[in-house]
Amino acid sequence: MALLPIFFGALRSVRCARGKNASDMPETITSRDAARFPIIASCTLLGLYLFFKIFSQEYINLLLSMYFFVLGILALSHTISPFMNKFFPANFPNRQYQLLFTQGSGENKEEIINYEFDAKDLVCLGLSSIVGVWYLLRKHWIANNLFGLAFSLNGVELLHLNNVSTGCILLGGLFIYDVFWVFGTNVMVTVAKSFEAPIKLVFPQDLLEKGLEADNFAMLGLGDIVIPGIFIALLLRFDISLKKNTHTYFYTSFAAYIFGLGLTIFIMHIFKHAQPALLYLVPACIGFPVLVALAKGEVTEMFSYEESNPKDPAAVTEGSKEGTEASASKGLEKKEK
């Protein structure tokens, strides 16, 4: 289950990076964001831990369930939309819609939400709502995993690192974060077990005994999927930028993830203690591709690869300027001919 959102999320991130639809624009993580992320994550984790200690767990989980019910439906709808499009007949009345929410007026008008969708998306939203109601009423582990997989795939697809150095900062910071909160305290494990929300993938260890009603779960946090996943997706886009028709770095990092996760599970069974997955995933996912780059003599190319933020006005202006210059050059060439 952990491999699926990384593989397909990485493939969809390529299309997302090239897309022009405002509703599918990726969110670019800079080195500054990456440096702050472990601190913000630590504060959030500690805050949740204190909440569970002070307030009733039942009421907190009720609020969180409603929150993730809405988010889960939207995420699952976005995930299944490309797949469901293949099943719609050619004569399906696919009307276009746009949800636009602004503030201010005239020249001071500012867009808050600008989301474009169609009738097919509404059908997907309806199907996702069925899963949402199932999750809300039963909290079944399959419904939890469907939402968890949707969150993970959307995270890998829509969260983009701007370069490899930023990826190393993010993974390095969360490596320390994960090790400290799992080995140094009981905070991470306590929150994970108390938090009734689809922020983790679970699988029943007593499935053969109790069937689908099993209740003894092994769990993997979505952060252990999304964080390495966005780095692997970056390497896929780097592969494509090299224009060599090979995906060497993508497959290398993907294999490294499999190795790191397998090692995590092995160590967990040996020591019978919860393991911080990033302790094994981070060295593998960074180390393997860097070794391949050293062997191929492409370390400089790897660390100099840069992705611009499509939401950054400066990047848009620069892109427009380049387009204008290119158009002007073509015009001059025609004139000379």
| Catalytic machinery residues | 178, 224
CA distance linking residue 337 with residue 327, whole number of Å:
15
Question: Taking the CB of residue 13, how many other CB atoms lie within 10 A of it?
Answer: 24
Please spell the DSSP secondary structure of 93-129, one letter per residue: ---EEEEEEEES-GGG-EEEEEEEEEHHHHHHHHHHH
Torsion sign across C-alpha atoms 119, 121, 127, 130: negative
Strand partners, 29: 161
What is the DSSP secondary structure assignment for residue 305, as one 8-state letter?
-
Closest CA relative to residue 194, chosen from 43, 51, 1: 51
Do residues 264 and 193 touch, judged by C-beta distance below 8 A? no
Please classify residue 302 by burial: count the beta carbons closer than 10 Å to its beta carbon, then call 0-12 exposed, 13-18 middle and 19+ buried: buried
Name residues whose C-beta falls within 8 Å of residue 306's C-beta, 6 or more positions apart in sequence: 162, 163
CA distance linking residue 267 with residue 72, whole number of Å:
32
Do residues 274 and 268 touch, judged by C-beta distance below 8 A? yes
Do residues 162 and 214 touch, judged by C-beta distance below 8 A? no
The secondary element (H helix, E strand) that includes residue 29 is strand 27-29
